Amino acid sequence: MSVLDDTVSGLERFLSKVWEGDVSVGGVSMASAGARRRNVLFEATAPDGSRVAAVATIIPTAGMQLMDIEVEASNLRLARAAGVPAPGVLAVCTDPAFVGGPFFVTERVEGETVPRRVLRLIDAHSGLGADLARQCGAAFARLHAVPVERAHPSLVGPGDRTPAAAALAQVERSLAALLQPSPVFELAFRWLARSQPSVGRGPVVIHSDFRNGNMIVGQDGLRAVLDWEGCHLGDAMADVSWMCVRMWRFGRDELEVGGFGHRTDLRAGYEEAGGRWDEDSFHWWKTLGTLRWGMGLAGQARAHLDGSFRSIVMAASGRRVAELEYDALMLLGAAYRGASVTSKP
Amino acid sequence: MQDRPTAVELLVDIAELLEHDVMPALEGPVQHQVRVAGNLCRILSRELALGPPAAQRESELLSGLLGREPRPAAPVEQLNRMLVDRLRAGADEELEAAAWSVLVDVAKDKVAIAKPGYDSFDFRSEVEQ
């Protein structure tokens, strides 16, 4: 039997148990098979004969799990209850015996998820990019408005530090682990450490990876936000600025929001839905996100070189660090451009 | 003197083989790996041509910034290490501003090898409100 056959019979056994009757599963296809999770599309026929188009998100090995599956499912429910478009959770299974790993089943939402296909859809519909940016802004604002005490108690937070201070401490550890000196990253770190956003708002529930590639988009715009395993308590501007870093624009650099929208639209959607936007903090977190991803790429190259994850793709990541260094320098341009001339005696 | 084709020419030949002949015969993750390998061959072909003058320029720029004589040139990694140490030593905003300017030039030389054209976008529209 193939892996997919095993998955079908595992899903049938599990859903028959939770829905208390015979469930049959058909129309199965693999939507994506990443290293960390598999997404299997299927159609279930419930005991009462009704049909449900669904998706099973399966964590193949426990070592790849960033977050307990029940916590991730609770994030989806929390977001939906707050008015953030997220797929409805139908069932959660922590027992790896059914399909080879813990998983949850959600309603299937039709639309595009692959970034370049999302951008092509937007090209074909005038005004969709701006609408989508506004809808993303509203989705962020609704998530950030969730009372923190309603979130799952195991969500990680910054502790007694500010989110900015916690993020800086993590950056400093990554700097120390670099295989070669990077004055660019050091400079960015110095500027970030000196320019921390003013305290005044506490941590909120953030998605942390809501960007082009983790959302389902249709002709009407945003239909669902996916991949809630990185959800934690952090800074609101960290969340919105991550969607705006250059690598999520897929070559459409002039469109700051995911290659499809302008920041003014994202901000308008955020503020219309009651969010409080802070430009300085946004810029700070966008710079930090760029720096952090640059060091993440260096870390991938390190994992290849030290043998812990041999892969030509990870090796190539080392040669992408230069892009993030360039981006970081340009983001620091507002602070340093021209200063080298004017500050000299 | 090695015979033609040169190393640069051969790397481009290998890249073309991977991109035009090998990739279409594959699918899934290994197809992506071959695409990446082809791109790495192109990066290496540019590095062979542009790397030595870029390293020379980086060495001169960093030496100048650090107030050292460019010759005998310290290895460029050592110069980068020295600059990191200087930046880490304290809040010297004048050094930081001068370093920014030098590092932009170095970064442009690096992306000319790693991803030509990447520096045609400079973020000015979004950092200057």
Query: The complex's ipTM?
Result: 0.96
Contact assignment for A336 to B84 by CB distance below 8 Å: no
Contact assignment for A322 to B111 by CB distance below 8 Å: yes
pLDDT (0 to 100) of residue A342: 41
User: In b/e form, how buried is each residue of B12-40, taking b as 16+ CB within 10 angstroms?
Assistant: bebbeebbeebbeeeeeeeeebbbbbbbb
Identify whether B57 is part of a domain.
Answer: yes
Instruction: Name chain A contacts of B36, Cβ cutoff 8 Å.
Output: 312-313, 316
Backbone φ, ψ for residue A51 (5° rounding): -110, 140
Return contacts of B80-87, CB within 8 angstroms, 24+ apart.
Answer: B80/A180, B80/A181, B80/A182, B80/A183, B81/A181, B83/A181, B83/A183, B83/A186, B84/A181, B84/A182, B84/A183, B84/A186, B87/A183, B87/A186, B87/A187, B87/A190
Pairing of strands A204-206, A232-234: antiparallel
One of 3.40.50.10490, 3.90.1200.10, 1.10.20.140, 3.20.20.70 is the CATH number of A115-339, namely: 3.90.1200.10
Question: How distant, in Å, are the alpha carbons of A75, A132, A153, A216 from that of A219?
Answer: 26, 10, 37, 11
Alpha carbon distance B80, B58 (integer Å): 9
Q: Locate the DSSP E strands across A81-125.
A: 89-93, 103-107
Contact assignment for B94 to A327 by CB distance below 8 Å: no
Instruction: Name chain A contacts of B91, Cβ cutoff 8 Å.
Output: 190, 194
Strand-pair partners of A53:
A43
Assess contact for A189 and A311: CB atoms under 8 A: no
Residues A288-305 have pLDDT tens digits of: 999 999 999 999 999 999
pLDDT (0 to 100) of residue B72: 62
Q: Which residue has the tokens 């992306």?
A: B111
CB atoms within 10 A of CB A2: 7
Start-to-end Cα distance in chain A: 77
Question: How distant, in Å, are the alpha carbons of A60, A73, A319, B23, B67 from that of A52?
Answer: 24, 18, 45, 38, 70
Report whether the peptide linkage leading into residue A60 is cis, meaning its omega lies within 30 degrees of zero. Answer: no
In chain B, which residue's Cα lies nearest the Cα of A344?
B94
Instruction: Name chain B contacts of A344, Cβ cutoff 8 Å.
Output: 94
Q: Identify residues of A whose CB sits under 8 angstroms from chain B CBs.
A: 180-184, 186-187, 190-191, 194, 246, 253-254, 256, 263, 279, 283, 311-313, 315-316, 319-320, 322-323, 325-327, 329-337, 339-340, 343-344
pLDDT (0 to 100) of residue A341: 43
Handedness of CA A91, A95, A98, A102 (dihedral sign): positive
Burial class (CB in 10 A: 0-12, 13-18, 19+), A311: middle
Domain with CATH 3.90.1200.10 in chain A: 115-339
Alpha carbon distance A264, A270 (integer Å): 10
pLDDT (0 to 100) of residue B39: 98
Alpha carbon distance A329, A280 (integer Å): 17
* Ranges under pLDDT 70 in chain B: 70-73, 129
pTM of the model: 0.94
Alpha carbon distance A325, B104 (integer Å): 9
Alpha carbon distance A182, A168 (integer Å): 16
Start-to-end Cα distance in chain B: 55
Handedness of CA A255, A318, A195, A330 (dihedral sign): negative
* CA-wise closest residue to A184 among B60, B57, B52, B102: B102
pLDDT (0 to 100) of residue A344: 35
Instruction: Name chain B contacts of A323, Cβ cutoff 8 Å.
Output: 111, 114-115, 118
* Ranges under pLDDT 50 in chain A: 340-345
Residues B57-90 have pLDDT tens digits of: 999 999 999 987 766 657 899 999 999 999 999 8
Instruction: Name chain A contacts of B126, Cβ cutoff 8 Å.
Output: 256, 263
Q: Which residue has the tokens 């098979």?
A: A33
Identify whether B2 is part of a domain.
Answer: no
Q: What total of structural domains would you count in chain B?
A: 1
Contact assignment for B114 to A339 by CB distance below 8 Å: no
Assess contact for A223 and A85: CB atoms under 8 A: yes
Burial class (CB in 10 A: 0-12, 13-18, 19+), B5: exposed
Identify whether B71 is part of a domain.
Answer: yes
Helices vs strands, H then E, count in chain A = 13, 9
Which residue type does A78 have? L
One of 3.90.180.10, 3.40.50.1820, 3.40.720.10, 3.30.200.20 is the CATH number of A3-107, namely: 3.30.200.20
Residues A131-157 have pLDDT tens digits of: 999 999 999 999 999 999 999 999 999
Identify whether B121 is part of a domain.
Answer: yes
Domain with CATH 3.30.200.20 in chain A: 3-107
Q: Identify residues of B whose CB sits under 8 angstroms from chain A CBs.
A: 32-33, 36-37, 39-40, 43, 77, 80-81, 83-84, 87-88, 91, 93-94, 96-101, 103-104, 107-108, 110-111, 113-115, 118-119, 121-129
Identify whether B1 is part of a domain.
Answer: no
Domain hosting residue B47, numbered range: 7-127
Handedness of CA A312, B39, A329, B121 (dihedral sign): negative
Alpha carbon distance A92, A289 (integer Å): 32
